[in-house]
Amino acid sequence: MGDDAPPIGIDLGTTYSCVAVWKHDRIEIIPNNQGNRTTPSCVAFVDAARLIGDGAKNQAAINPANTIFDAKRLIGRRFSDSKVQDDMKLWPFKVIEGPADTPKISVSYKGETKEFLAEEISSMVLRKMKETAEAYIGKPVKNAVITVPAYFNESQRHATKDAGAIAGLNIISMINEPTSAAIAYGLDINKSLIKTKKKKKNVLVFDLGGGTFDVSILTIVEGAHIIKVKAVSGDTHLGGEDFDNRMVDHCVQEFKRKWEKDLKPNKKAVGRLRCACEKAKRILSCDTQTSIELDCLHEGIDFCMKFSRAKFEELNMGYFDRCMETVEACLRDTKMKKSSVHEVILVGGSTRIPKIQLMLQKLFYGKELCKSLNPDEAVAYGAAVMAAKLNPNSDKIRFGDLVLLDVTPLSLGIQLMGEIFDVVIPRNTTIPRKKSRIYRTAFENQTSVGIRVYQGERARSTDNHLLGMFTVSGIPPVRKRQQQVKVCFEIDANGILTVATKILATGQKNKLTITNENGRLCKEEIEKMVKDADKYKHEDREFKKKADALNALHKQLKYISR
């Protein structure tokens, strides 16, 4: 890693992102140029510039069609995905179908219509985090550890890695968000272990963020030297934004009931209302009542409405129940009793909601919840620890013996005749892992076989997520079931899968590469996007120079006029 800056840890969140680094013999959360320790995962295109982070979020209400958020809910998904279609009804910006069923975001920028993949939008946020770190460290940053939701599938992980490459980052590792939080927690567990004389602790990480939800059960051994994930469960489409949406819908219905006017077609009005609802949600975590007040919201009508914590809980109880059901499912997967869980750790901004804490505490028979970690920063903190461990120049005495054993969140397998899903690597298998299976030809004189790789938990293969497909040809023609094809699945520590085949009779080998047909970016496309990102960066810099010069001139003229 040479003379470059030390590798950084990035929590690429749905709504907010955070970056951290090991410096001055400790982990430091790096504030952005606004002094904030988290940055909105938001990109806006205005007349002459591109805004990322706080600047983008601050103008979202007046420029809704060109302010992009929720890229994490799009990344690695297909346009035809039902969740994408549902989200499109809520987003003020336009999403269109691109090649190979990929969703593309359409915006107006400098008088032209521009289209971006979710990977490109995420790369802009990652580049912002990279530049934030560089300003703090004072050196170019190249290497990073990025976190992803534990329940992200293979396609979503690949797409996130592509986003890092477009941002000019070398992703040295990708780790699951709750696992990263457990690393942060594990740094301080040693004293607790000594006091209780326990050699291990079973820990449940409850990670509820802005757009995703994960539950992980881990065992931390010998003062966090070994962190072993037992099971993960979750929902990549459940978080604080869903709670906001329920509040927005309620306010829209109230406006219609009172004034007999529909707010929904007015994107700017809905954008203002969304910002107000998000603010009200945060207040309701501290107070039992607040009010939403917006002047001239729609057709000159002022909107004022009292909102109680009880109403917020009523609107979102279905989501809260889903969270608790996910915890129960994760416990069942580990066959662990609730009483065997020594600590329940809260991660993610949405865990500040009192009702969530109350329900979780009740689920664990009144157990005190662990709130020692900053829920907004814990994931980036753990990622920075892992980055320091992987840095050859870091303190090996401190990090060298940290062992992280994660699991694959979803089962991996291939399709057999009759659309049967044959699992090769079951979910919650410790990774890295390599596993092979031998299959026989199904027909007389069969010379080729199609391999379709899926990820999921459904018995019928087509109900799962298709990762890719390829054809094994050159099989010597003989009677059915006489020829054998060995299929080998290998999943690395980042959760990235490689599938290889071997015809046993001839020794011929083949390997599956996830290509653009499967929604994966090819090398040439990534290189083009890197160049485009550099071009936008140059344009942003030139715009800032002109804006600074104009502001300086205005100040000078103001001074002269005195």
Checking if the pLDDT of 2 tops 60, the result is no
Model's pTM, two decimal places?
A: 0.90
Domain with CATH 3.30.420.40 in the chain: 8-172
> What average pLDDT does the structure give for the chain?
90
Please state the three-class secondary structure of 281-305 as a single string. HHHHCCCCEEEEEEEEEECCEEEEE
If one compares 534 and 420, the residue with the highest pLDDT of the two is 420
Share above pLDDT 90 across residues of the chain, in percent, rounded to a whole number: 77
Share above pLDDT 70 across residues of the chain, in percent, rounded to a whole number: 90
Q: What is the reported pLDDT for 49? A: 87
What would be the CATH architecture of the domain defined by 8-172? Answer: 2-Layer Sandwich (3.30)
Q: What is the reported pLDDT for 193? A: 43
User: What is the average pLDDT across 7-24?
Assistant: 97
Q: What is the reported pLDDT for 333? A: 95
- DSSP symbol at 211: S
| Kind and range of the H or E run holding 435 | strand 433-440
Name the band, by pLDDT with cuts 50, 70 and 90, for residue 199: confident
User: What is the average pLDDT across 395-408?
Assistant: 76
Token pair 């510039």 is found at 49
Name the band, by pLDDT with cuts 50, 70 and 90, for residue 194: very low
Name the band, by pLDDT with cuts 50, 70 and 90, for residue 176: very high
Checking if the pLDDT of 195 tops 50, the result is no
Domain with CATH 2.60.34.10 in the chain: 412-518
Interaxial angle between packed helices 267-284 and 240-259, expressed in degrees from 0 to 180 and rounded to the nearest 10:
120
Checking if the pLDDT of 104 tops 90, the result is yes
Name the band, by pLDDT with cuts 50, 70 and 90, for residue 399: low
Structure tokens at 66: 């060109």
336, 217 contact by CB (below 8 A)? yes
pLDDT of 300-351, one tens digit each? 999 999 999 999 999 999 999 999 999 999 999 999 999 999 999 999 999 9
Domain with CATH 3.90.640.10 in the chain: 240-315
Measured distance CA(161)–CA(523) in Å, rounded:
12
405, 226 contact by CB (below 8 A)? yes
Which string of DSSP letters, residue by residue, matches 457-508? Answer: S-SBGGGSEEEEEEEEE-PPP-STT-SEEEEEEEE-TTS-EEEEEEETTT--
Q: What is the reported pLDDT for 223? A: 58
- List residues with catalytic annotation: 11, 72, 177, 207
User: What is the average pLDDT across 435-462?
Assistant: 92
Name the band, by pLDDT with cuts 50, 70 and 90, for residue 531: confident
CATH of domain 240-315: 3.90.640.10
Class of 412-518 in CATH: mainly beta
Q: What is the reported pLDDT for 517? A: 46
Interaxial angle between packed helices 240-259 and 309-334, expressed in degrees from 0 to 180 and rounded to the nearest 10:
150
Name the band, by pLDDT with cuts 50, 70 and 90, for residue 235: very high
Q: What is the reported pLDDT for 558? A: 53
- Which of these ranges, 180-194, 336-350, 446-460, has the smallest mean pLDDT? 180-194
Structure tokens at 18: 């955070």
Find, among 370, 434, 403, the residue nearest to 204 by Cα.
370
pLDDT of 349-372, one tens digit each? 999 999 999 999 999 999 999 999
Name the band, by pLDDT with cuts 50, 70 and 90, for residue 516: very low
Q: What is the reported pLDDT for 547? A: 63
389, 398 contact by CB (below 8 A)? no
User: Which residues, including other chains, have CB under 8 Å from residue 435's CB and lie 6 or more apart?
Assistant: 424, 425, 488, 489, 490
Name the band, by pLDDT with cuts 50, 70 and 90, for residue 407: very high
pLDDT of 249-297, one tens digit each? 999 999 999 999 999 999 999 999 999 999 999 999 999 999 999 999 9
Checking if the pLDDT of 449 tops 80, the result is yes
User: What is the average pLDDT across 423-429?
Assistant: 95
